[in-house]
């Protein structure tokens, strides 16, 4: 059973699962009908916030639950209150149903590296057992922290169920749409003056493969999932060929508000903090315990996103390269014009 | 493919700088380049220009997509043509197997895929990316291997390539945000005159710093503005035989501050916490730490060269855990650059800073007061203290940690006294 199939990753994942001959039945659950075709996967329109979900689980004798409906943006959900309800109450209901269902053997939860928060006191890289320095007080990060704590509680009460928590870095890729992809698609990308945070991305393909592996095999535990290496915010903006606009730090919350008003991108204060101080996680456990090597590095994933979603702005590498060449011609040519013919004759 | 983008440019450049072209090859290269120049001016089709047979071959193999675009897009023609023409010197100058052809081969699949897409109108984003990744290669090559390429031409080319890499984000930073190119070519380059001419830094005992593997350099902190860390970084990068980058540990206040935090990260500083120190040391980096922190930098002039408390000894436990040697480092001269006579405590509290100094010149002379006094510096690296002789769990023994901390502190303090005795005057 996969929750949150109406959104892009959930839907793609359900498609992948139902294409596998070893899996007899895939049930997708979400509040709204999926936009994309789920193939042969069954769709149950159920709100995981109410006890109907329990009936679905027990009737279908679900053995594996993949919980992907922790949502990051209030816009799609219809406001912050609804979002919180879906995230936190939904998870509680789902876990309560799983606890009562003896058929459930495995639970995979899609969480986020947002649980680590971001602050200037952060170590350069978070390992899975490091505590965040600044506990998230709002938004998605807080929801993720709470969801994870309920999942831990569930793991304690049902020790026979293998529980995997995957903390994903920000998704990018050809299709996926998040607040961050919207941010990088802005005509002028606002940043916080004097800060160039390190970011990490995971390509949607890699993300789906990790979900796939942890769903089919048993890998209990918590794992950070991210592409290799880091990218700085400015590096990313320039790779997208967009002009950046540094604004002083006191204006940061205000930027977020304006963006939200305009409806172009959805930025909570905690996301603005992320864009100020950044966050990098250690993926050693993903590599050693899960044995997973992401195909896309952070930079490669971002480049793929830029290329496939045609984000490339006016300052694309092509343009800059052309300007460089013209400058080089002008400078070198005028400067050494008398010297050149001599060089050729000799 | 996007991965392969970053590496070949730098790698190729390095490779190309090294081979010294023989006279004949150089002439050929010059000729080829000149034809490129000429063709560009005339905007005739450069592929039938009197370039050598190799040129044609290179152009056809490497520039399938290029020629396709040239036919339909006159503006693109000059550019692509240039790549074709200027690719020619490579087989003659570079080592045949390694530099030129291998890159051409690596380009070919990308190019042919680009050629498959219709070249008319706006090129797809993927194509833009590919062309940007490959073309400047040819540019650098022509300038750098050409015999008539004077020193300053090379500099312009290098400078422009540097600016282009910056503007397109074609750089690599490590997990800590360290940007070696920016550090070496911009940040430290600005500080070099200060090091060489102004403070006339004299280094001693550089051989005590291991040439490879992890090591922890522990130094005294002073000078109101932490220039001593920058100078130590320069000493190890420019004057150590292995030219090592010093990775420093900074207070969290550094990373809260706009601009300074960003520059600190890019120059290889990371947060002073055990997790980061151990991570760097395990990777075999040379780590620098100033355990006195703000107590050291901001101490009054009357207390100069008196070491403050050495933090909580966290640096010792990090060294013990990773079993790397501790290199005590004593810096003389930094105390005199901005002698602190007083501290504006209220203002400091208002600004959220640890201190706001009053020096003989600051704030009286305004911005002029920010010019440091030209003291003569000595940086001495002492004999390393080995930590691999202790039991693996030695870091858990607070008494041992305190003892080693004291030992390091005493070593630095005594070296400071010795250096001060030897010093003739503050400024010479």
pLDDT of residue A119: 87
Examine the fold and report which residue of B167, B191, B206 is the final residue of a domain before the chain moves on.
B167
Q: pLDDT tens digits, residue range B181-196?
A: 999 989 999 999 999 9
| Residue B133 in domain | yes
B302 part of a folded domain? yes
Which residue in chain B has the smallest CA separation from A233?
Answer: B169
pLDDT on residue A320: 79
Q: What SS3 string covers chain B?
A: CHHHHHHHHHHHHHHHHCCCCCHHHHHHHHHHHHHHHHHHHHCCCHHHCCCCHHHHHHHHHHCHHHHHHHHHCHHHHHHHHHHHHHCCHHHHHCCCCCCHHHHHHHHHHHHHHHHHCCCCCCCCHHHHHHHHHHHHHHHHHHHHHCCCCCHHHHHHHHHHHHHHHHHCCCCCCCCCCCCHHHHHHHHHHHHHHHHHHHCCCEEECHHHCCCCCCEEEEECCCCCCCHHHHHHHHHHHHHCCCCCCEEEEECHHHHHCCCHHHHHHHCCCEECCHHHHHHHHHCCCEEEECCCCHHHHCCCHHHCCCCCCCCCCHHHHHHHHHCCCEEEEEEECHHHCCCCCEECHHHHHHHCCCCCEECCCCCCCHHHHHCCCCCCCEEEECCCECCCCCCCCHHHCHHHHHHHHHHHHHHHHHHHHHHHHHCCCCCC
Hey, which residues 246-285 in chain A have their CB within 8 Å of chain B? 248-249, 277, 280
Comparing A128-132, A185-189, B138-142, B415-419, which segment has the lowest mean pLDDT? B138-142
On whether both B285 and B162 belong to a single domain, the answer is no
- Chain A contact for B187 (CB, 8 A cutoff): no
**Residue of higher predicted confidence among B252 and B11:** B252
B356 part of a folded domain: no
In B, minimum Cα distance to A250 occurs at B258
Q: Which of B3, B174, B260 is facing A297, going by the closest CB pair?
A: B3
DSSP state of A121: T
What are the tens digits of pLDDT across the range A160-198? 999 999 999 999 999 888 888 888 888 888 888 889 999
Whether B65 and B208 map to the same domain: the answer is no
Residue B3 forms contact with A (CB below 8 Å): yes
* Model pLDDT, residue A346: 31
Instruction: Evaluate whether B251 touches B293 at the Cβ level (below 8 Å).
Output: yes
> Which of B129, B164, B259 is facing A303, going by the closest CB pair?
B129
pLDDT, tens digit, 9 for 90 and up, residues B343-375: 888 998 888 888 889 988 888 888 888 899 999
Question: How many residues are given for chain B?
Answer: 428
B144 and B224, same domain (yes or no): no
On whether both B50 and B147 belong to a single domain, the answer is yes
- The per-residue pLDDT for range B234-244, each reduced to its tens digit, is 999 999 999 99
pLDDT tens-digit profile of B380-416?
Answer: 999 999 998 998 888 899 999 999 999 999 999 999 9
Position A154 scores a pLDDT of 95
Respond yes or no on whether ipTM tops 0.90: no
Contact call for B173 and A230, based on CB within 8 A: yes
The H or E element that residue A270 is part of is helix A269-277
Which CATH number belongs to the domain containing residue B280 in this structure?
A: 3.40.1130.10
Partner-chain contact A343 B148, CB within 8 Å: yes
Q: Are residues B39 and B122 in the same domain?
A: yes
Instruction: Report if residue B216 sits inside a domain.
Output: yes
Contacts of B152 in chain A (CB under 8 A): 335
Q: Select from B140, B167, B194 the last residue of a domain.
A: B167
Q: Is B359 part of a structural domain of the chain?
A: no
Question: Is the Cβ pair B279, A322 closer than 8 Å?
Answer: no
- Report d(CA B44, CA A266) in Å as an integer: 52
The answer as to whether B315 is a domain residue is yes
- State whether B208 and B152 are in the same domain: no
pLDDT at position B22 is 44
Q: How far is B168 from chain A (nearest CA, A)?
A: 5
B151 plus B191 within the same structural domain: no
**B157 at A interface, C-beta within 8 A:** yes
Q: What's residue B377's pLDDT?
A: 95
Shared domain check, B143 and B38: yes
A-chain CB neighbours of B181 within 8 Å are none
Q: Are residues B279 and B396 in the same domain?
A: yes
Q: Do B160 and A120 touch (CB under 8 A)?
A: no
Measured between CA atoms, how close is A252 to chain B, in angstroms? 13
Owning domain of residue B25: 2-167
Domain-embedded: residue B234: yes
pLDDT tens digits for B1-51? Answer: 444 343 333 333 444 444 444 444 444 444 444 444 444 444 333 333 433
For the ranges A28-42, A158-172, A321-335, B86-100, the one whose mean pLDDT is highest: A158-172
Whole-number Å distance between alpha carbons of A33 and A30: 7
Shortest distance, CA B308 to any CA of chain A (angstroms): 24
B273 — contact with chain A (CB < 8 Å)? yes
- On whether residue B354 sits in a domain, the answer given is no
Token pair for A196 = 């160039």
Residues B305, B404, single domain; the answer is: yes
Domain final position from B141, B167, B193: B167
Residue B202, chain A, CB below 8 Å: the answer is no
Q: Would strands A170-172 and A189-192 be described as parallel, antiparallel, or unpaired?
A: unpaired
Residues B138 and B87 in one domain: yes
pLDDT at B94 over 50: no
Q: Which H/E stretch holds residue A203? A: strand A201-203
Instruction: Kindly state whether residues B206 and B62 are assigned to the same domain.
Output: no
What pLDDT score does B1 carry? 41
| Band of residue B74 on the pLDDT scale cut at 50, 70, 90 | very low
Query: B101 pLDDT exceeds 60?
Result: no
CA-based nearest residue to A267, from A250, A279, A255: A255
Total structural domains within chain B: 2
Mean pLDDT of chain A: 85
């Amino acid at each position: 059973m996969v929750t949150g199939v109406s959104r892009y990753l959930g839907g793609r994942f359900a498609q992948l699962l139902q294409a596998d001959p070893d899996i007899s039945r895939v049930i997708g659950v979400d509040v709204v009908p999926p936009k994309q075709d789920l193939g042969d996967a069954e769709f149950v329109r159920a709100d995981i916030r109410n006890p109907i979900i329990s009936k679905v689980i027990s009737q279908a004798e679900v053995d594996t639950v993949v919980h992907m409906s922790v949502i990051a943006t209030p816009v799609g959900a219809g406001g912050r209150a609804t979002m919180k309800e879906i995230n936190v109450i939904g998870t509680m209901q789902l876990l309560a149903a799983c606890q009562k269902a003896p058929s459930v053997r495995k639970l995979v939860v899609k969480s986020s590296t947002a649980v680590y928060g971001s602050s200037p006191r952060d170590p350069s890289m978070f390992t899975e057992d490091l505590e965040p320095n600044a506990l998230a007080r709002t938004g998605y990060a807080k929801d993720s922290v709470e969801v994870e704590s309920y999942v831990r509680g569930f793991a304690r009460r049902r020790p026979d169920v293998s529980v995997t928590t995957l903390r994903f870095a920000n998704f990018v890729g050809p299709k996926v749409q998040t607040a961050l992809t919207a941010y990088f698609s802005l005509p002028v990308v606002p940043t916080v003056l004097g800060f160039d945070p390190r970011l990490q991305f995971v390509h949607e393909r890699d993300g789906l493969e990790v979900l796939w592996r942890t769903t089919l095999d048993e890998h209990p535990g918590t794992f950070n999932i991210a592409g290799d290496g880091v990218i700085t915010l400015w590096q990313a903006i320039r790779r997208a060929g967009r002009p950046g606009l540094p604004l002083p730090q006191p204006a940061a919350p205000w930027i977020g508000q304006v963006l939200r008003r305009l409806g172009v991108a959805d930025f909570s204060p905690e996301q603005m903090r992320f864009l100020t101080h950044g966050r990098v996680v250690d993926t050693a456990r993903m590599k050693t315990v899960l044995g997973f090597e992401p195909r896309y590095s952070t930079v490669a994933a971002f480049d793929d996103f830029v290329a496939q979603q045609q984000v490339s702005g006016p300052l694309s590498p092509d343009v800059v390269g052309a300007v460089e060449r013209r400058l080089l011609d002008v400078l070198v040519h005028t400067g050494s014009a008398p010297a050149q013919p001599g060089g050729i004759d000799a | 493919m996007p991965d392969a983008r970053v590496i070949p440019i730098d790698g190729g450049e390095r490779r190309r700088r090294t081979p010294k072209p023989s006279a004949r090859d150089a002439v050929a290269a010059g000729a080829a380049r000149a034809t490129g120049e000429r063709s560009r001016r005339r905007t005739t089709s450069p592929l039938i220009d009197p370039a050598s047979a190799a040129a044609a071959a290179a152009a056809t193999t490497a520039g399938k997509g290029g020629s396709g675009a040239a036919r339909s897009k006159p503006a693109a023609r000059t550019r692509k043509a240039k790549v074709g023409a200027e690719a020619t010197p490579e087989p003659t100058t570079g080592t045949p197997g390694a530099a030129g052809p291998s890159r051409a081969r690596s380009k070919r699949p990308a190019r042919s895929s680009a050629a498959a897409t219709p070249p008319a109108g706006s090129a797809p984003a993927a194509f833009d990316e590919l062309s940007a990744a490959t073309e400047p290669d040819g540019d650098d090559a022509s300038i750098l291997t050409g015999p008539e390429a004077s020193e300053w031409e090379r500099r312009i080319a290098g400078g422009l390539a540097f600016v282009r890499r910056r503007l397109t984000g074609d750089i690599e930073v490590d997990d800590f945000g360290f940007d070696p190119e920016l550090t070496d070519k911009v940040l430290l380059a600005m500080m070099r005159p200060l090091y060489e001419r102004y403070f006339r830094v004299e280094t001693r005992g550089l051989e005590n710093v291991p040439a490879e593997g992890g090591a922890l350099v522990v130094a005294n902190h002073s000078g109101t503005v932490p220039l001593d860390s920058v100078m130590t970084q320069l000493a190890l990068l420019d004057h150590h035989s292995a030219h090592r980058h010093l990775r420093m540990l900074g207070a969290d206040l550094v990373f809260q501050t706009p601009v300074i935090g960003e520059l600190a990260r890019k120059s290889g500083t990371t947060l002073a916490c055990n997790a980061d120190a151990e991570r760097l040391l395990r990777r075999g980096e040379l780590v620098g730490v100033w355990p006195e922190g703000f107590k050291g930098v901001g101490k009054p002039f009357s207390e100069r060269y008196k070491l403050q408390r050495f933090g909580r000894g966290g640096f010792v436990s990090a060294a013990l855990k990773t079993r790397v040697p501790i290199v005590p480092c004593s810096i003389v001269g930094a105390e005199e650059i901005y002698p602190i006579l007083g501290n504006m405590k209220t203002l400091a509290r208002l600004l959220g800073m640890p201190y706001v100094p009053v020096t003989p010149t600051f704030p009286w002379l305004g911005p002029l007061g920010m010019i440091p006094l030209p003291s003569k510096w000595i940086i001495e690296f002492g004999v390393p203290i080995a930590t691999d002789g202790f039991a693996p769990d030695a870091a858990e023994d607070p008494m041992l940690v305190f003892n080693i901390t004291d030992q390091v502190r005493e070593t630095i303090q005594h070296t400071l006294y010795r250096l001060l005795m030897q010093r003739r005057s503050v400024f010479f």
